[in-house]
Amino acid sequence: MYAIVEIAGQQFKVSRGTKVYVNRLDASEGSKVEFDKVLLIDTDGKVQIGTPSVDGAKVAATVIAHLKGDKVIVFKKKRRKGYQKSNGHRQQLSQILIQGVLAKGETLKDEVAYEKKAPKAKVVEVVEEVKAKKAPAKKAAAAEGAPAKKAPAKKAAPKKAAK
């Protein structure tokens, strides 16, 4: 089941459990929001098209985070005129998780959970543990009495005789 919904002036194809980046919403992080401007609903091949929106249909979502988009650089230049101008910005976005597409009279059954990313400190600890497990294997071979490999000695180039 999916729906085409208009959120903050843009149209998105959404289904249950998808994460979408939309223009900044006024809702706080963790709050639930509903969008009632549903333009199309497809339920297993049965399509309902709105004129302009489907009556009674809603899309329920949860605001996960507010963040900034990628940096957009606007650079203007006119050749041979000495004119160049640089400008740019980062778009304000909200990340939302779609809880469900509700047709007329339906209610939300259960919520979709979302995972937050692990803190960087835990990732660093895991990397260090992996490195520690790999290192003893090399040290054990050296401790058994295997001769350490030395780099081959470089031979000096023969000197040319002076005339």
pLDDT tens for each residue of 15-55: 999 999 999 999 999 999 999 999 999 988 899 998 899 99
Q: Report the pLDDT value the prediction gives residue 117, as an integer from 0 to 100.
A: 63
Q: Report the pLDDT value the prediction gives residue 108, as an integer from 0 to 100.
A: 79
Q: Report the pLDDT value the prediction gives residue 132, as an integer from 0 to 100.
A: 72
pTM > 0.85:
no
- Per the document, the length of the chain is 163
Q: Report the pLDDT value the prediction gives residue 1, as an integer from 0 to 100.
A: 87
